[in-house]
Amino acid sequence: MDCFCAKSGKKRQVTIEDLARHLGISKATVSLALNNSPLVAETTKARVMETAKEFGYRPNYFGTRLSKGKSDVIGLYILGGEKEKCNWTLPSSWMFYNPILKAVSTELAMHDYRCNFGVISVEEATKQGTISWMIQEGSLDGMLLVVQDDIDYSFLDVAEERQFPFVVLNAKVSDNISSVKVNNDLGARKMVDHLLRQQHRRIAYLGGPEMDSNAIERRDGFIKAMSEAGIAPCPELIQYGDWQRSSGWKAASDFMSLDEPPTAIFCGNDHMAIGAMQRLQEAGLRVPYDVSVVGYDDTEMCQIVVPRLTTVRQPLEQMGTLGAREVLRQIDEESTTATHTNLEPELVVRDSSISITHEPKIVS
């Protein structure tokens, strides 16, 4: 049996040209046979189908498109959470997703593509094969997937195998699948550097869910920046929240009840930071004069709360626009060669952080 391998020795996908060479017939005949054309003898069709099955041939997207035509529809899906508990509609989540979805749909519309939007749970993707089925079903010209969970993404291998136009937003999950994301590590580092310049040394950190890829990157950036400044982060000063305001409220209470409370609290998103500020103000502490509080995302709420929130601005609309352009490039060029873009976030300094002037009060 022939072995179709790349120069690296890794088994590569079998092509129509490989089948034609093995069978000693033309590529056109193989293609017609695979599409059950009446122009090909039944015996030849049988040989082609048997050989295709033997070598594990799977038609790629572009070949299928030639026979079926384009649909002018591109899928845009949010992946995350359990089927019954996916919280993407909560205010904190929607403020994050909305700029991405708006930018993607706008860019696709400018190129006469319709956007098929949906939310897919991790279980549906990994166990039920929903995404794999949509790719192979043939009703989409391409797909963008917004991800958040740090999970095994091998279920996306089918996109590479089928050479299907595909882009992941908000994380890089594979070297072979295009991605557009924000450099969360850098954003956290910028915030830590800002607080260090304000003479803060005892800085508490409230991250997002432990299995969230954004939360992991921001936490790692915080820890590395502190370590590089010669400050070993104390375990008691690191907590995990759920991106919601209530977890910020609780964490602030815990942090300020320590024997040596922090002078600054860095929250992994704006909603948790606002919850932290509310708790501190309820306890009679002044933000930022007694405790500085900073966030991440730069949602609209940052300029409404008092004091206005120091945060990290994410170029979410740019992420969506570039992701849409990348999937369109793959379609136009008939090339799924992966590209990876890591966008730089921006530190936005407002009123909720200030240089240390005196020791913070302790919540009783």
Which CATH architecture does the domain made up of 184-314 adopt? 3-Layer(aba) Sandwich (3.40)
Give the phi and the psi of residue 164 in degrees, each rounded to 5.
-95, 130
Task: Provide the percentage of residues in the chain whose pLDDT is more than 90.
Answer: 66
Q: Tell me the pLDDT tens digit for each residue of 338-356.
A: 999 999 999 999 999 999 8
Pick the CATH number of 73-181+316-344 from 2.40.30.170, 3.40.50.2300, 2.170.120.30, 3.40.50.10800: 3.40.50.2300
Domain span(s) for CATH 3.40.50.2300 in the chain:
73-181+316-344, 184-314
Residue-wise pLDDT tens digits, 123-163: 889 888 899 888 887 889 999 999 988 899 999 998 988 89
Burial class of residue 139 (count of CB atoms within 10 Å of its CB; 0-12, 13-18, 19+): exposed
State the pLDDT at residue 7.
Answer: 46
Asked if the model's pLDDT at residue 178 lies above 50, the reply is: yes
Give the phi and the psi of residue 293 in degrees, each rounded to 5. -130, 130
Residue span(s) of the chain under CATH 1.10.260.40 come to 1-57
- Residues 190-213 have pLDDT tens digits of 999 999 999 999 999 999 999 899
pTM beyond 0.85, yes or no: no
Q: Tell whether the model's pLDDT for residue 281 goes beyond 50.
A: yes
The domain covering 1-57 belongs, at the CATH homologous superfamily level, to lambda repressor-like DNA-binding domains (1.10.260.40)
